[in-house]
Amino acid sequence: MLTSPVPSQSQTGLIPWSALGRLIRLENQTGTLLLLLPTLWALVLAERGLPSIRLLLIFSAGAFLMRSAGVILNDLADRSIDRHVARTKSRPLASGELSPRHALLLLGALLITAGGLVLQLNRLTLLLAPIAIALAALYPFAKRVIHVPQAALGIAFGWGVVMAWAAIRNRIDPPAWCIFGATVAWAVAYDTIYALQDSEDDRRIGVKSAALFFGSRTWLAVGTALALMLILLSTAGRMAHIGWAYYGVLLGVGMFFVRQAGQLRRAIEPMQAFRMFQAHIWVGAAVLAGLLAGFLV
């Protein structure tokens, strides 16, 4: 007896909630934290201590929404590439499980919600918000144009720093630009480590990547970016006249960076690269703790 095939979710009109959750990496919020943490650095430094609960909630929710929007934009732009990369070929858009229409509808909902949050802030922050959207939209195409697309990611992530500072001070002071630069340098470092997972696939497909561009000197490039990050964070601290505890934390973070750069001098397996990348969440949290200690201790 013949049986008819089971209709897909798109055929039955059901909303593919599971695929939408995987599209925005709901089960893995590493990217959200890496976007949020520099924003929290800026809030604490601009406030010279704990910012208001209201701003913490707005920027935390905003980080989740914008990171989710960013990965949708990335997957829409890269779905034809992702099909040829072992790590990404099962993503909902690359595999065909989810249609671009569903992705665009979710993207619109996320951006509208994020816009509602920005409307709660001052006029300067509101004027800066469209730049954040433009940067998020441009990042997916950076790997087609520049050899270090990780810098484009850093600029997109760093713009949250500028908006956070503006939300408190209603202007953008030099320390904000130092934290912005530190965020860019940090993203170049950790995302280059992340890119080591896909080096062989990227080389085969022809996608540009810092891991391919720097090759055997990746350890030096990452180490230099991390050193620049520490210099800029130290400069921001000096401008803000922060206490000694902050610099003690930066010293400890610097020692961790030396260890990671040393690890990169050897061949790195994909899983090890991913663990090294994830460790940067704790780096961001340590810097945040150092900032709070510098003002409150």
Q: What is the pLDDT of residues 101-148, one digit of tens each?
A: 999 999 999 999 999 999 999 999 999 999 999 999 998 888 888 989
Q: Is residue 4 part of a domain?
A: no
Q: Is residue 83 part of a domain?
A: yes
Q: Is residue 7 part of a domain?
A: no
Is 181 strand, coil or helix?
helix
Q: Is residue 6 part of a domain?
A: no
Query: Can you give the pLDDT at residue 208?
Result: 82
Question: What is the span of the domain harbouring residue 151?
Answer: 29-296
Using pLDDT thresholds of 50, 70 and 90, give the confidence band for residue 13. low
Q: Is residue 1 part of a domain?
A: no
How many Å apart are CA 65 and CA 136, to the nearest integer? 12
**How would DSSP label each residue in 14-59?**
---HHHHHHHTTTT--HHHHHHHHHHHHHHHHHHTSPPPHHHHHHH
> Is the pLDDT score of 295 beyond 60?
yes
Q: Is residue 2 part of a domain?
A: no
Mean pLDDT value of segment 178-187:
98
According to DSSP, residue 117 is labeled H
* Alpha carbon of residue 85 to chain centroid: 21
139 is written with which tokens?
Answer: 């990042």
**pTM across the whole model:** 0.91
CATH number, domain of 112, equals 1.10.357.140
How many of the other CB atoms lie within 10 Å of CB of 219?
18
Q: Is residue 264 part of a domain?
A: yes
pLDDT digits (tens, 9 = 90+) for 164-179: 999 999 999 999 999 9
Using pLDDT thresholds of 50, 70 and 90, give the confidence band for residue 86. confident
How many Å apart are CA 241 and CA 192, to the nearest integer? 32
Domain count, the chain: 1
Q: Is residue 20 part of a domain?
A: no
pLDDT digits (tens, 9 = 90+) for 25-84: 999 999 999 999 999 999 999 999 999 999 999 999 999 999 999 999 999 988 888 887
Is 225 strand, coil or helix?
helix
How many Å apart are CA 252 and CA 154, to the nearest integer? 23
